[in-house]
Chains A and B, each alone.
Chain A
Amino acid sequence: DTGVSQNPRHKITKRGQNVTFRCDPISEHNRLYWYRQTLGQGPEFLTYFQNEAQLEKSRLLSDRFSAERPKGSFSTLEIQRTEQGDSAMYLCASSSPGQGHYGYTFGSGTRLTVV
């Protein structure tokens, strides 16, 4: 098992462009989480999937953000019309049922820079 994999590791984009990130969770984990983290802060919850169902979405997530997990395996996070304030580290984590209580496994993140 290679853990949680995120691609790309780094993304630089011009303001107004769309970007898409991918997360491959641990294969037996049915729960997948997206977080955003800015410098000097802890991770900020964005959204959560159980299998292919998106069960919770943060109120902080504007309509420019969308996430999918079409087959209950990998997930994508898309940001449309990027803004400079979207610059952050985007983290994906996964857990198995009942194991979230004991901790998540995080990927290495995608660092987004909007110029």
Chain B
Amino acid sequence: TQLLEQSPQFLSIQEGENLTVYCNSSSVFSSLQWYRQEPGEGPVLLVTVVTGGEVKKLKRLTFQFGDARKDSSLHITAAQPGDTGLYLCAGGRVRGSNYQLIWGAGTKLIIKP
């Protein structure tokens, strides 16, 4: 059972279009992290949201944490070919002495020029 569901699994759009990808769970998280991963490389952290309802912007990327801290969205405005990659969300929660990350399976995004 996937604790964090990402949708869509795959998205291919033209340069200049807008898109939103989603990260949903029935569990509450203390933080939600978004990463982008390119083929053959490790994930690179984009942003962390920690407060319910929080919105963070990173240039053309807007991240939102749900009010109940169970879900998150990533909106990209005027997508560019450089945005192509695998977008992963990870929910954080404390478990014993460790801070545990629960990962989604990712959204594979292709932006066509």
Residues of A that sit less than 8 Å from B by CB:
4, 6, 40-45, 48, 50, 55-56, 91, 93, 100-109, 111
Contact = CB atoms under 8 A, between A and B. Distances in A.
B104 A42 contact: yes
Listed residue (A42, A50, A108) with the most chain B CB atoms within 10 angstroms of its CB: A42
B31 A102 contact: yes
Chain B, interface residues (CB within 8 Å), range: 20 to 34
Given A42-B88, A42-B104, A101-B92, A55 B98 contact: yes
Given A55-B97, A100-B92, A105 B103 contact: no
B90 interface: yes
A74 to B, nearest CB: 16
Interface string B94-113: 00111111011110100000
B45 A103 contact: yes
A33 B29 CA distance: 20
B105 A104 contact: no
A41 B41 CA distance: 14
B50 interface: yes
Given A45-B100, A91-B43, A105-B45, 8 more contacts: A6-B42, A44-B103, A45-B101, A55-B98, A93-B42, A100-B92, A103-B33, A106-B43
Nearest to B103: A42
Nearest to B42: A106
Contact of B50 (A41, A45, A101, A105): A101
25 contacts: A4-B42, A40-B105, A40-B106, A41-B106, A42-B103, A42-B104, A42-B105, A43-B43, A45-B100, A50-B97, A55-B97, A91-B42, A100-B92, A100-B101, A101-B48, A101-B92, A101-B99, A102-B31, A103-B35, A104-B33, A104-B101, A106-B42, A106-B44, A108-B41, A109-B40
A105 B40 CA distance: 16
A9 B12 CA distance: 29
